[in-house]
Amino acid sequence: MEYRLLGETAVKTSAVTFGAWAIGGWMWGGAERKDALDAIHASVSNGVTGIDTAPAYGQGLSEEIIGEALKSIPRDRVQIMTKYGLRWDLKKGEFFFDSKDNAGNDIQVYRYAGKESIIEECENSLRRLGTDYIDLYQIHWADNTTPIDETMEAILRLEEQGKIRAAGVCNYSADQMKTAENTLSLASNQVPYSMVLRDIEKEVLPYCIANQKSVIAYSPLQRGLLTGKIKPGHQFGEGDTREGNRFYTEGNIKAINRFLDELRPMAETKNATLAQLVIAWTIAQPGITVALVGARDASQAIQNARAGELQLKSEEIQYINNKLSGLQLT
Q: Which amino acid is at 99?
A: S
What pairing do the DSSP bridges indicate for beta strands 94-100 and 106-111? Answer: antiparallel
| Domain annotation covers residue 49 | yes
Domain that holds residue 95: 3-224+276-311
Measured between alpha carbons, how far is 220 from 193 in angstroms, rounded to an integer?
A: 6
| Domain annotation covers residue 166 | yes
| Domain annotation covers residue 249 | no
CA distance to 19, 23, 129, 306, per residue, from 132 (Å): 21, 22, 9, 30
**Mean pLDDT per 10-residue interval, the chain, length 330 residues:** 97 97 70 88 97 95 95 96 97 94 90 98 98 98 97 98 98 98 98 96 98 97 90 73 77 92 96 96 98 93 95 96 90
Q: In terms of Cα–Cα distance, which of 226, 277, 311, 298 is closest to 48?
A: 298
| Domain annotation covers residue 169 | yes
Q: Which of 3, 57, 84, 133 is catalytic?
A: 57
| Domain annotation covers residue 266 | no
What's the pLDDT at 233? 78
| Domain annotation covers residue 263 | no
What's the pLDDT at 104? 85
Question: Is 193 among the catalytic positions?
Answer: no
| Domain annotation covers residue 190 | yes
Q: In terms of Cα–Cα distance, which of 328, 329, 239, 313 is closest to 281?
A: 313
How buried is 1 (Cβ within 10 angstroms: 0-12 exposed, 13-18 middle, 19+ buried)? Answer: middle
> How many CB atoms within 10 Å of residue 300?
19
What's the pLDDT at 50? 98
pTM over 0.85: yes
Domain count, the chain: 1
Q: Any idea what the CATH number is for the domain that residue 12 is in?
A: 3.20.20.100
| Domain annotation covers residue 30 | yes
